[in-house]
Structures are given as structure tokens and as C-alpha cells.
């Protein structure tokens, strides 16, 4: 064992201790290399309170006595080089803590991990893959997301398709099957539940042990690169759920790494996440900042990920989040804001956008913290998108209400417009809403079998037209009836049933229309892109509104009948145009509805209505969504939001 590493320089050590080493993965962990003419592996690990650190593995029968590391001065970092350790070797760090106890720990910077239930790290190289996504990378630079369609398909790779328990599709198989499918249904992005290594399948990756390891459940790192590369070659962006807020307590992980609270806070009231059984990172510690900021850049550098959905932001920024009274602490000003976490999130976004300006940084945040998507120089957190949890909760509550009772809660549909432009929003219909007894989206809908489908088609139409980018969890596109079963595959056989197949046709058509119509996405973040026609018709439970694009006069009109009654000769005001054509009628027979006749052009009349210069009449089916496009624009006239 040679007690030095060619990968860790004095500058690296200094920057790491200052929280400024932004690509620490290039120095820390295990690296195949050559030193003094010998091939082997260099190691580096941060363990400032350990008395000794060794490398144990298959190569020494898990006894690290002959493979000690040497402290790099007073930096807390231990390094070394082993000529007899090569690619594919399983290893852990053998640490002797201050009390003489031996701990076997997985490498925090490992690039690959042993397939569970094994917990060892694997010496792996990440170079050698030939990327073919240059055209996609150029496209991202030239087409910022704000005025583009964004339709995200959220996926848990372990249960998208599953032939039998634990018979997972590999990354390489998914590079064909999943990518072909997402392209066929017209989505623009895939969002993957966390792929960082984790010990428990049913944590879905949200309780991590290997922040730099793509989970081995689905194959080697090269397979994930192929999956991302294939997505990019087909014009699909890839987002990764990322969990910097907390980590699991498994013995081989980060908890008490060198025998002391190292990655977590020494105050258990701040470290513990009692409802999740996890530990929060110590965001104020410089070395933890180097670890996490480097990890974000690692996924962007090495795997060409297009951005992150940052999990559980509300739990990071609130010291009292889910804490019982006895575990509550306050910041130095006497408040409940977690100041170090807020500073970390700002640094995170500044770091990511500083290196990858075209990234997507999406906050999963249920709090009312202001300026989540505002720039940090204006006091914001610096994300460019935030999940609109208020819209989601209000609309799912409304849609779960019997249509006869919806007039009493009509404002649930309109209130979200009061804050629709306070942030850049994504409208999420995510995995969290279809698990743990919450039922699938289809099963949430009231009524008999056919009414459930009618309600869901109506809801999807409203979702597509409401301001904000879109996210749908897998299975929602064809009406998965059972809630998500994380240990089984989706119920693809439902596509053999007429109403599920019809739902799939409807969603395919909706995604086509969405992508082709700039009014549905070009001004998502500007009040100029939306105008109510009639938001107040609670008695009949009908909403109508206009979406505009930047092109003068270009618009669409949405009509949503949330009641179980049909309305004949229903009159609404519309912007000036001689006639409209029906782009979508969710009650059409081809989508599982009851309307069989083709809809003619709908001519307007010079009768003012709802503050609009002309009006038209429609026969509106029950529980139906109708989308209208002007046949020819007669100039852009609108009533602005009040």
C-alpha cells in the first residue's frame, strides 16, 4: 500500500474544507490510475475524527490491516493507493473511531455499489462512453423552457414494466422500450424517481446511501448513460429526483460515519427526521456543502442529466417541519427558518446555473415561502420551477366531490389563479397522489364506472389548459385503476379494455394538441396569456376561459362542464372571430364518451357576452371538456384579468 493518492492535491483539500470544491468526485472516492509505473486504485475519504482508516474488501478478505490510508495533514481527509486493487473490486472503508470501535462504511463517493442486499462499494470507471447527444445539447441552449411545451412523464423504473417480482428491466432495455413509449405518447421529458443507490426497494430511492452511485438494480452505469443518451437522441429531456434533504440511517451509510455526527448535525433535534426515520444533512458544514454541490454537478457532468426535481424543500427550510414540540429549535434570530438550508439551496442553484445555464431546477415545495423561483440576486431561492401543490390539492379535492355538490366548492377551481403567476409552476399529478391508500386518479373520481372516466377526461382537459407546465405519473395516461403498486408492474392489460384504450387515445390526442398550440404554453408565466370568460358560474359548475399566445389574435377557448347535466344552446362570450372549430370534445365516442355526431364549425354572433365582443352557443355534454380554436382571427381583443 502506497500512502498517497495522485488525485488529491493540496488545493483540493483546502477547497473541500472551505465548501468550495465543486467537483469533489474527481478527487475523492476510488479512482483507477497508475502511480510510479504501477496500476491500481487511489482512495480518498473524509473522516476527521477517526483514529485509523483502512480499505477492506474481497482482495484482503475484508481485513484492512494491510491497506491503511494516511491522513492528509489536518484536513480530516485520508488517502492512499493500492496496486493490488482493480476494476470491479468490492470494498468498504474500515474506520477505527475514537473509542476504538471498528466501522465498515460504504464509500460516500463510490461510483457503483453492490446489488442489494450487498452493501459494498465497487471500484468502477466512468469514462469510455461515447455520447451522441450533441444535437440535443445545442437544442437546449437555443430553446429555453419557459415559452416551450413541457409535458413530463414521471417514472419509477422498477415498476414501469415488471414481468415478475424483482425481475427489473435493465437500463439498456428501458433505453428501447421506455423511450419508444414516451415518444409515442408525445411527452417532452421523463422524470425518474431517484436513481441514487438505496438499500430498500420500497423507499423508491428517497432514502439514499450512495449519492454518486446509479443504483445497480437496473444494471451498470453505462446502461444509465445509454438510457439518457437515447432519450436525448429522440428529443426527450431527462430529469432526476434528487434528495439533498436527508439520508437513511443504515449502518453502512453516512450516519456517524467516523463515529461522530459528520454529515448530520450534532444536535439530534436538528438531525432527526422522526416521521421518516432519516437524518438531515448539516447544511452549514463546508465539507457537506462540497459533497452535495459536487453531487449535483456529478449527475450533470457524467450522466448528462437535464436537471433535478429537488425533493422535500419544505422540510429543509423549516426547522419545525414535522417536529414534535420537544425537538423544535430556533435560528439565531429566534425564527423557525433553517438559515443554513436556505443558503445551501441558493448556492445549489447558483452553482448549477453557473455551470449549466439551461438546466431545469424544480422545487418540490409545499410551503408558502416566497420567491422560490426568483433569482438569488433578488432574494429568491433561485429555482426556475416549483411544483404547484396548492393547485393539485384543490383540484383533486374538487374532482373527488360528487358533481351535485360541486357548486358549494366551486372556488377551489378558480382560487389557484390568484397566485398562478407568483412563481413559475409545474402542475404535478405525481406518484405521491396515487399511493398509500390515496387511490389512483381514476379511482378518486366519483360516480359509476363510465362517470369516473368522464370526470378524469374532463380533469385532464382542464389540467392541459391551466397555466403551468405539466407532470403526470406513469399509468395515468390510460387510467390505471388500482393505486400504484411499487412492487409490481403497471396494469398494462387494461389497454385491452375499451374505456382504458379510449382514455389512452384521448391523452395521446391531448398531448398532440398541447404540443401544437402555443396558446397552451407560450405565456404560461405571464398574466397576458390567460383570461377568464366566466369563472363564477358555480350554479351550473361550468368554467370557461381563454389562453393566448404571443402571436396577435392567436388563442384557444376552453369550456369545462364539471356538472352531471347537459346544457343545450349554452352561450359564452369569445374574442372576436367569425367561427370556431372544436379541437377536442372529451365526450366524443372515440374517447369513451357518448357524443357520436361530428361537430360542425361553431359560428359566432354579434351578441356581447361575458365582457367579450361576440358570443357563440354550444351543446355542452355532462362532465365534458371542450377546446375551441378560432377559424380565423379578427384581431386580438381580450378582457384582462381583474
Tens digits of per-residue pLDDT, 412-433?
A: 999 999 999 999 999 999 999 9
- pLDDT, the chain, mean: 95
> Of all residues in the chain, what percent carry a pLDDT higher than 90?
93
- Give the pLDDT confidence score for residue 554 in this predicted structure: 95
The answer to whether domain 148-246+283-308+360-519 and domain 527-630 are alike in fold is no
Does residue 436 register a pLDDT over 80? yes
Instruction: Determine which one of 114, 229, 264, 311 is catalytic.
Output: 311
The predicted model gives 458-482 an average pLDDT of: 98
> Three-state SS for 518?
helix
Confidence band of 509 (pLDDT split at 50, 70, 90): very high
Cell numbers for 103: 466501522
Q: Where are the domains of the chain?
A: 10-122, 148-246+283-308+360-519, 527-630
Confirm whether 63 is a catalytic residue: no
Closest of 119, 88, 87 to residue 106, by C-alpha: 119
- Give the pLDDT confidence score for residue 632 in this predicted structure: 61
Instruction: Determine which one of 114, 364, 423, 587 is catalytic.
Output: 364
Q: Cα separation of 20 and 561, whole Å?
A: 55
C-alpha distances out from residue 83 to 52, 57, 59, 90, 485, Å = 20, 14, 11, 15, 46
- Give the pLDDT confidence score for residue 3 in this predicted structure: 57
The predicted model gives 212-239 an average pLDDT of: 98
Q: Cα separation of 211 and 111, whole Å?
A: 9
Give the length of the chain.
642
Q: Cα separation of 584 and 566, whole Å?
A: 17
Q: Cα separation of 630 and 579, whole Å?
A: 6
Q: Cα separation of 453 and 441, whole Å?
A: 10
E strands, 215-291, are 237-242, 246-248, 272-273, 278-280
Does residue 6 register a pLDDT over 80? no
- Give the pLDDT confidence score for residue 638 in this predicted structure: 41
Given a contact cutoff of 8 angstroms between Cβ atoms, the answer to whether 542 and 534 are in contact is yes
Per the listing, cell 430498500 goes with: 200
Q: Cα separation of 512 and 514, whole Å?
A: 5
Q: Cα separation of 55 and 92, whole Å?
A: 6
Cell numbers for 424: 413559475
Q: Domain 10-122 in CATH: superfamily?
A: Immunoglobulins (2.60.40.10)
Strands 237-242 and 542-548: unpaired
- Give the pLDDT confidence score for residue 577 in this predicted structure: 87
User: Which contiguous run of DSSP H or E holds residue 573?
Assistant: strand 567-574
- Give the pLDDT confidence score for residue 607 in this predicted structure: 92
Confidence band of 4 (pLDDT split at 50, 70, 90): low
Given a contact cutoff of 8 angstroms between Cβ atoms, the answer to whether 238 and 189 are in contact is yes
Q: Cα separation of 306 and 360, whole Å?
A: 6
Does residue 139 register a pLDDT over 70? yes
Q: What pTM does this model have?
A: 0.95
Does residue 2 register a pLDDT over 90? no
Q: Return the CATH class of domain 148-246+283-308+360-519.
A: alpha beta
At the topology level, CATH places domain 527-630 in: Immunoglobulin-like (2.60.40)
More confidently predicted of 190 and 36: 190
H-only helix segments in 445-547: 449-465, 498-516
Tens digits of per-residue pLDDT, 114-133?
A: 999 999 999 999 999 999 99
Q: Cα separation of 13 and 77, whole Å?
A: 8
Given a contact cutoff of 8 angstroms between Cβ atoms, the answer to whether 443 and 451 are in contact is no
Tens digits of per-residue pLDDT, 550-607?
A: 999 899 999 999 999 999 999 999 998 899 999 999 999 999 999 998 888 999 999 9
Does residue 641 register a pLDDT over 90? no
- Give the pLDDT confidence score for residue 1 in this predicted structure: 59
H-only helix segments in 254-358: 268-271, 286-303, 313-317, 339-355
- Give the pLDDT confidence score for residue 474 in this predicted structure: 98
- Give the pLDDT confidence score for residue 520 in this predicted structure: 98
Closest of 145, 230, 150, 161 to residue 472, by C-alpha: 150
Closest of 303, 322, 310, 394 to residue 348, by C-alpha: 310
Given a contact cutoff of 8 angstroms between Cβ atoms, the answer to whether 211 and 108 are in contact is yes
Tens digits of per-residue pLDDT, 276-292?
A: 999 999 999 999 999 99
Q: Cα separation of 42 and 37, whole Å?
A: 14
The predicted model gives 254-268 an average pLDDT of: 97
Cell numbers for 492: 398494462
Confidence band of 634 (pLDDT split at 50, 70, 90): very low
The predicted model gives 352-358 an average pLDDT of: 98
Confirm whether 311 is a catalytic residue: yes
- Give the pLDDT confidence score for residue 166 in this predicted structure: 82
Amino acid at each position: 500500500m502506497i500512502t498517497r493518492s495522485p488525485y488529491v492535491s493540496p488545493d483540493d483539500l483546502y477547497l473541500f474544507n472551505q465548501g468550495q470544491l465543486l467537483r469533489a468526485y474527481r478527487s475523492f472516492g476510488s479512482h483507477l490510475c497508475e502511480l510510479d509505473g504501477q496500476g491500481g486504485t487511489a482512495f480518498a475519504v473524509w473522516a476527521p475524527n477517526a483514529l485509523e482508516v483502512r480499505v477492506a474488501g474481497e482482495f484482503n478478505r475484508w481485513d484492512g490491516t494491510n491497506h491503511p490510508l494516511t491522513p492528509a495533514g489536518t484536513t480530516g481527509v485520508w488517502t492512499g493507493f493500492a496496486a493490488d486493487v482493480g476494476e470491479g473490486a468490492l470494498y468498504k472503508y474500515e474506520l477505527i473511531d475514537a473509542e476504538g470501535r471498528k466501522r465498515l462504511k460504504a464509500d460516500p463517493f463510490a461510483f457503483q455499489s453492490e446489488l442489494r442486499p450487498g452493501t459494498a462499494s465497487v471500484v468502477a470507471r466512468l469514462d469510455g462512453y461515447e455520447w451522441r447527444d450533441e444535437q440535443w445539447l445545442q437544442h437546449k441552449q437555443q430553446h429555453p423552457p419557459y415559452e416551450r411545451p413541457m409535458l413530463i412523464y414521471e417514472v419509477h423504473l422498477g415498476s414501469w414494466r415488471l414481468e415478475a417480482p424483482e425481475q427489473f428491466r435493465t437500463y439498456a432495455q428501458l433505453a428501447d422500450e421506455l423511450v419508444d413509449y414516451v415518444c409515442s405518447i408525445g411527452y417532452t421529458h421523463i422524470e425518474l424517481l431517484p436513481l441514487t443507490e438505496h438499500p430498500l426497494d420500497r423507499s423508491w430511492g428517497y432514502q439514499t446511501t450512495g449519492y454518486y452511485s446509479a443504483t445497480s438494480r437496473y444494471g451498470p452505469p453505462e446502461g444509465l448513460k445509454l438510457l439518457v443518451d437515447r432519450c436525448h437522441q429522440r428529443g426527450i429531456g431527462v430529469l432526476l429526483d434528487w434528495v439533498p434533504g436527508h439520508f437513511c440511517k443504515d449502518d453502512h451509510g453516512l450516519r456517524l460515519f467516523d463515529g461522530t455526527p459528520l454529515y448530520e448535525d450534532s444536535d439530534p433535534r436538528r438531525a432527526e427526521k422522526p416521521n421518516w426515520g432519516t437524518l438531515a444533512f448539516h447544511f452549514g458544514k463546508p465539507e457537506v456543502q462540497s459533497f452535495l454541490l459536487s453531487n449535483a454537478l456529478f449527475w450533470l457532468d457524467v450522466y448528462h442529466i437535464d436537471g433535478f426535481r429537488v425533493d422535500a424543500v419544505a422540510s429543509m427550510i423549516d426547522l419545525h417541519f414535522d417536529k414534535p414540540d420537544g425537538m423544535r429549535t430556533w435560528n439565531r434570530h429566534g425564527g423557525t427558518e433553517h438559515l443554513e438550508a436556505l443558503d445551501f439551496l441558493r448556492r445549489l442553484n447558483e452553482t448549477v446555473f453557473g455551470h449549466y445555464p439551461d438546466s431545469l431546477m424544480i422545487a418540490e415545495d409545499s410551503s408558502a415561502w416566497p420567491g422560490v423561483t426568483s433569482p438569488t440576486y433578488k432574494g429568491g431561492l433561485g429555482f426556475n420551477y416549483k411544483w404547484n401543490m396548492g393547485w393539485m390539492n384543490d383540484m383533486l379535492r374538487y374532482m373527488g366531490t360528487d358533481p351535485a355538490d360541486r357548486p358549494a366548492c366551486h372556488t377551489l377551481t378558480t382560487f389557484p389563479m390568484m397566485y398562478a403567476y407568483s412563481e413559475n409552476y409545474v402542475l404535478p399529478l405525481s406518484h405521491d397522489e396515487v399511493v398509500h391508500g390515496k387511490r389512483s386518479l381514476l379511482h378518486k373520481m366519483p360516480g359509476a364506472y363510465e362517470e369516473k372516466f368522464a370526470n378524469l377526461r374532463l380533469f385532464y382537459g382542464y389540467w392541459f389548459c391551466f397555466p403551468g407546465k405539466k407532470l403526470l405519473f406513469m399509468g395515468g395516461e390510460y387510467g390505471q385503476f388500482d393505486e400504484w403498486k411499487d412492487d409490481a408492474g403497471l396494469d398494462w392489460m387494461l389497454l385491452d379494455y375499451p374505456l382504458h384504450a379510449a382514455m389512452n387515445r384521448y391523452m395521446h390526442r391531448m398531448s398532440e394538441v398541447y404540443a401544437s398550440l402555443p396558446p397552451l404554453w407560450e405565456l404560461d408565466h405571464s398574466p397576458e396569456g390567460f383570461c377568464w370568460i366566466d369563472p363564477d358560474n358555480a350554479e351550473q359548475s361550468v368554467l370557461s376561459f381563454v389562453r393566448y399566445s404571443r402571436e396577435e389574435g392567436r388563442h384557444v377557448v376552453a369550456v369545462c362542464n364539471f356538472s352531471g347535466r347537459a346544457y343545450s344552446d349554452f352561450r359564452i362570450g369569445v374574442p372576436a372571430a367569425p367561427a370556431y372549430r372544436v379541437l377536442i370534445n372529451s365526450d366524443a365516442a372515440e374517447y369513451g364518451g357518448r357524443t357520436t355526431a361530428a361537430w360542425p364549425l361553431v359560428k359566432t354572433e354579434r351578441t356581447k357576452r361575458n365582457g367579450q365582443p361576440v358570443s357563440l352557443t354550444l351543446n355542452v355534454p355532462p362532465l365534458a371538456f371542450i377546446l375551441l380554436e378560432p377559424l380565423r382571427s379578427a384581431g386580438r381583443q381580450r378582457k384582462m384579468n381583474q
